[in-house]
Amino acid sequence: MTPASVIVGVLAISLTQAAVAQEKPAAPKTSVTPSNVTQDMLNRAAGDAANFLHTNGDYTQKRYHPAAQINASNVRSLRPAWIFQTDVKESMETSPIVVNGVMYVTTSFSQVYALDAQTGEQLWYYKHPLGPITIYCCGPNNRGVAVYDDKVYLATLDSKLVALDAKTGNKLWQADIADPELGYSETMAPTVANGKVLIGTNGGEYGIRGFVKAYDAKDGKLLWTFDTIPESSVGVWAEKDATGRDMHRNIRAEKEQLAKTGDPYKTLGGGVWQNPAVDLASNRIYFLVGNPSPDLDGSLRPGDNLYTNSLVSVDLESGKYVCHFQYIAHDVWDLDATSPAILVDVRDRSGAVIPGVIHAGKTGHVYVHDRKDCSLIRFSDAMVPQENMWTLPTEQGARMLPGANGGVEWSPMAVNTQLGLSYAINLHQPMTYHVQSTPYPGGKLWLGGAFKVIPTEEQSGNFTAVDYNTGKIRWQVKTPQPMIGGILATAGGLVFTGEGNGRFRAYDAQNGNVLWTFNAGAGVNAPPSSYTVAGKQYIVVAAGGNVQLDYKRGNAIIAFTLD
C-alpha cells in the first residue's frame, strides 16, 4: 500500500485557484483495471454483492447491500483492511462507488481518486481546476461520482459537469451547469440513467432559481431542464403543513405583496441537494427540492413558493412534471427537504401494498407517499423534539425546535425491507430564528435573517429505526452529538453509521444494539458503502469530519473486512 501524501493542519489555500490547479492523473500502480459499466449493471445494482454502483446503492436508493458475509454474529471481528489518505484534509461526504475491484471517491474541492478496492492503492487522481468564483453554502463538500460505460461523472463547486475517462482520469468533456457568480454550485453526486446524467444544484441560500438538468452521457449536451420553481409559484395558499399544523401565515399580507411585486419565481431558490431515485418501471424520477430564498424572510416571496420543500416527480425522458407534494408551504425556518427519496413498497391506508416513496425531513418525520401521485399516506412519529412549531421568526429571535439543520439533514436513510424499517440519523440543535428583510443581493448570501444555536442548551443526535408501514419508531439510540452523514444497511442484518466524534459503528438492524465500534480519529460524516472482492466483503467509509457542524477534519478513506 502506498498512501498518497498528506496535508496536515491547515487548509491548502492553493486548492482552488485556477492558476495553480492541475489535472494530474497518475500512472496505475496495480494490476486491477477499471472496467465499463453497462445500463444493465446499473439496473441490477440492488442484487450485485460485488459492487456499489450508485451513490445510494441502487436506483431505489435503499442503501441496502446484499452481501451477508459480515453479519451480526461476526462483525466484532471487523478490522481495517487499508486506509487511504487523500491530499485534502477537509469535510468528506463521499459515497464510495465500486466497480469490479476499482473504487472511486471524492474529496472537498471536487477532487476524485480511483483506488484499488482490495489494497487501497491509487490508480489515478483528478484535481479539478476550480474557477476563481465559487459561492456555496455549508462547505466545499462533494458527495461522490456516478459511473456509466467508460466514464466517471463529477459535478464541481464551480458548477461544471465533468466526464472523466474511467481508466485514466483524463477529462473527456466538461459542461457548464450554471453561473457560479449567481450563487450556483455543486456538491451532489450525479445520477446516470438511460444515457442521461442527472444533476440538481445548490444555491437556495443565494437567490437562485433551482433545477434538475439532464445531460447526454456521451458528450455533455443538455437534453432537458426542469425548473424546480415554476413561473407560477403561488400555489393554493396552504395554511397547514403536511402534518396538519397551522403555519401562522399572514395570507392577506402575502396577497397584497403579490399584487405589488408579482410572482417571485426568478430568485426563489429551490436547490436540489441529493440524487433522484429512478423508477425503472414507470420511467419517472423522484427528488426533493430545498428551501425558498431568502430562507427566513417570507415577506418578499408571497405564495406557497412551489416547489420548494417538496417531493417532486418528473418524467425521465422528457423532464416533464408528473406530481409533487409540498411539506411546508412558504417555509420561513429553512426546515426543507434534502435527504434523498427512497422507492419502496409500502402499505397504504387500506393495508394494501403499493409502490411508495419515502423521505426523511428536517422536521424529524419520515414521510410515506404513494408513488403514483406523490400523495402523502402517513408521516412517522417525530424522531426529534418539536417545540413551539410553527412560531414565526422575529427580529429578536424566536425559539423553536427542531433547529434549522433538522431533524434529518442531507443524510441519506437506509431501508431493510425484510424488517420494514427505514433508518435515519438526526440532529437536535435548539435554535432561535431571526428575521431581517433585505432585497435580492445578486448572488450573495441571502438568508433573510439568521438561525442561531442556543449555546446554553444541550445538543445531541440520534439513530432511529422507523416502521414505514405504521409510522412508529421501532428503536432509537441517542448519540452525544448531532448526526450528519449517512447510513448503510446490509443483508448481514446490520446497519452502519458514523458520528462527529470519530466513532463508526455497526448496529443490529432489528433492535439497535451496538455490535462493533471503530474510532477513525476524525468525524465519520459520510455514507458508508459495501462491496466484495476476491471472496471478501468490505465496508468502506470516509472520515473527514464536517464543515457545517465543525467536526474534526480528516482525509481518510477506510476499508474494513473480517479478520
Partner 1 sequence: MTKDVLATMVLPALARAQTLEERAQLCAACHGEDGIPQQKTMPVIWGQHQGYTYLQLRDFKSGVRKNDIMTSLVQAMDRNEMLALALYFFQKRWPDLQQAQPPADVAARAMQANTALACTGCHQGEYQGEGTQPRLAGQTREYLHQTMIDFRKRSRGNNPGMSDLMLAISEDDIAACAEYLAGLR
Residues that bind partner 1 (CB under 8 A): 10-11, 13, 15-19, 90, 109, 130, 132-140, 157, 205, 397, 434, 436, 438-439, 441-442, 444-450, 452-455, 547-550, 553
Query: Of 7 and 477, which CB lies nearer to partner 1 in the complex structure?
Result: 7
**Distance separating alpha carbons of residues 499 and 459, to the nearest angstrom:** 14
| Shortest reach from residue 406's CB to partner 1, in Å | 14
User: Is 305 or 546 the residue whose CB approaches partner 1 more closely?
Assistant: 546
Q: What percentage of the chain's residues is helix, strand, coil (to nearest 5)?
A: 5, 35, 60
Smallest distance from partner 1 to CB 141, Å = 11
Which CB sits closer to partner 1, 151 or 434? 434
Residues with Cβ within 8 Å of residue 428, at least 6 apart in sequence: 384, 385, 401, 402, 403, 459, 460, 461, 462, 482
CB of 284 to partner 1, least distance (A): 34
CB of 44 to partner 1, least distance (A): 39
Asked whether 480 and 489 are in contact (CB, 8 A), the reply is: no
* C-beta of residue 311 within 8 angstroms of C-beta of residue 325: yes
Considering the complex, what minimum distance in angstroms separates the CB of residue 480 from partner 1?
15
User: Considering the complex, what minimum distance in angstroms separates the CB of residue 438 from partner 1?
Assistant: 4
Q: Quick one: 339 or 546, whose CB is closer to partner 1?
A: 546
Q: Which is nearer to partner 1, 109 or 307 (CB)?
A: 109
C-alpha cell at 166: 474511467
When the beta carbons of 385 and 442 are compared against partner 1, the nearer one is 442
Measured CA to CA, the distance from residue 18 to residue 13 in angstroms comes to 12
Identify the H or E element spanning 370.
strand 366-370
Exactly one of 58, 297, 304, 334 is catalytic; name it: 334
Number of neighbours of residue 356 by Cβ within 10 angstroms: 21
Q: Is 219 a catalytic residue?
A: no
At CB < 8 A and 24+ separation, what contacts does 213-219 make? 213/177, 214/316, 214/319, 215/161, 215/175, 217/148, 217/149, 217/151, 217/153, 217/163, 217/192, 219/173
Q: For residue 39, what is the DSSP state?
A: H
- Active site positions, annotated: 334
